[in-house]
Structure 1
């Protein structure tokens, strides 16, 4: 069960790339044993499993390659991973005084200290008392012994992003852990089992990133269902308050859109068969393409307000009044996505049209990106852009990877962008104050008190938006925040793009399948913090020095120009 050379085994190489073994044996006239790997990243390999005219295994055109066993990391058993994470491995690891001092400065809290670590370690070493165990991304590959007596009281087990490949191993885990209620095996590339698995005690299973055909008939994948609140709102058109929370117009529209996306085809099929089907409420209006029976082509500036656009539309189509007029926009590429233009005082660019018209670059830097309805519209506007501009997105590491109740993070939400264009780069900056054992120890939400990436700037071609708002539904709808729009300023747009690129070089980078890797352009923050900070400081000083020289030259030129104009004005006045 722990043999790394078995065909079908999931492996990870020394650079962090993952794949599945498809062949074991000799290759051509070479000596020794080779592993034929089908990589998860289809561009990682060198061929499709065929070498020198001999076909060894199936893979994508550039998704396969041969490697030696020495180039593959050793997978871990579950027990070994538990001991590494919760055992005595870090018993002698203490925080350096300079680490504590740096955290104090970062938090502006001179009294900050870490106490009781010996008690924490002692409690964690008693595996029999652990109720929650997280082994995410620890190269767990097999079961290395009995789990029933090793960790008998586990109720929640996270095995996401590991190297498990067999549902049989999942079954053995469940069978041994009688108290297990929550299990996450997401992103393991588990193959479809030969038969359904009995899961009598589990209440929740996370299965994203695995083959699910015919497996777990009593479960529905979490990312393919509506929440109870969304379903209730979509089906009850007159309800205004649910569970003590008011339902605003945007939430209703979002719920109904999701409902129709999930059940729309079923509704059409049911109508053909004269079968009853529960329709959602009618906040969403039908297509009115035949209402005027004519199309008018008109170019309008993105700075035009919605009210001005309504006045223009009234003149063009001789509409009776503005009060009942409802406008929306869609694109030729995505005709089924319609975004309502429902705020008269907003400019057209506010509703995301600017994303679809950017030709050369889009740069977004924020604390995090939300995952709601407005954010889906924003993502859709990126995907609908026919120009496929160079796109840079920078988020905070801890906020960007935090999962919501539907097991979705900013990272996973943005994954379609990486598949859409090779010119897209999604980076997550991690503060150097949080690394190593402190990074593992600090719970979510609390780690934000130590340090964050908080630059909020948005660049579209040569237009720059500087704001205090994050890219989340709250800021789109319910909150007011300041923002400054600077149009057609190439120098400023270049400055922010270069700044974001530098920070991205010192950050984690999102790859396919929601995998995070160090950018590879600088020293890894986890390897050597001091060298990392030295390189970062030097790079930023060089960047700012160049910009400072440019500004001084510009100021000198501006002063000389002003002096000349003043002299000309004085000479002109002397004529009178």
Structure 2
């Protein structure tokens, strides 16, 4: 059975020609080359491959009456165009091929290759990137590799064909006191055995970061592996099969130094599982993007646990199934939380994007950055004012205030801060339909004559132009002036107008607010 491909390179264009006995990969299938050459009736150069998985094969090495090669298992072979196959290596072969000092500029593929072009010796390499090199095995004489690269700190072996932990762990012991980071993502690695984990427990004491994406492991496997690197700070395990986070306790030592945990695209559906992470005292970042969360709720007992999580500053819950605003308000119980990402959740279908942002800001008092964008003081004030107005009618109509407060825990606090809003007022968009705002302006120093006036200001005027207008009104010399606003609703609320290029409408000023001028 043949697989025909157009525009395939011929044998003369191959940098590393195939030989009988080579190991090759086609997509995710691996096999041994049994024949290299022409096939009667078909143009080009062909490889006869006997597959490790016999069901991948179509014949036993013959075409018509001619036998080109033999196989150990009937019908386990195929003919493949050379351009479709990729030669696979042992670790040592891949290392020598990528870091050969005679590499030509046209073959440079990474910063490490450029370093080797400058004849940086193997002995000076601290970072080795052998991702996508079709590595299937670790050489038995792995000690030679360690001797060749004694200064190694970072080893990236992602997207290869490694299947066993045992040989890898033996290799890692050669750098046990130096290795800081490993990446083994997207290898067909079988889970480690208990014997392997026990043998290497607490061995890699300097390991700080481990990346194990796309291995289809459960939490029990990562928890078991963590006993080998007790000082780990960053654990990145996206695209796996994690559905629970059990087995953690205050006495857990293998993950007690964890700062960052990336669980993107796993299978966590209950917030109760996330609460289990409350026992990790140093955790600053959790990525839960693309899981199956439907709600967020901290039970009374879990709130107590949160006191053990004082450093959680960043959280990503994007692309889940969270549908209620009450779940967002629950995050206010994470008092250290400063950065939140939560895009692509059903709850955000309620309003337009800008209004959603305002509601989130108003509901969460501690966050300083939302969806990667800083929350300025003025934006927070505007968001809180809009939030009070948005739900003013609901608050006025509800019979039992306790029920409303349960849905809007901070509403009374925000009313006290900014003043109550009449139900008849607009609940979203601009603060007033008028293009003007009527303000009381007070000059507090150095002015002869009039010190207070009422002024009607168009909202599209910039702060810079309003300053010039008020300087003329009060006869203030051309010197820098500061303008502080005092709310007419709550005299205890005041803030500085600090962006000369912003329009007055940007500041959400209301009729009756007081401007105080100082210079």
Q: TM-score, normalised to structure 2's length?
A: 0.33
Where relative contact order (Cα < 8 A, 6+ residues apart) is larger, the structure is 1
For the pair shown, the structure with the greater C-alpha radius of gyration is: 2
- Which has the larger share of helix? 1
- Which has the larger share of strand? 2
Q: TM-score, normalised to structure 1's length?
A: 0.31
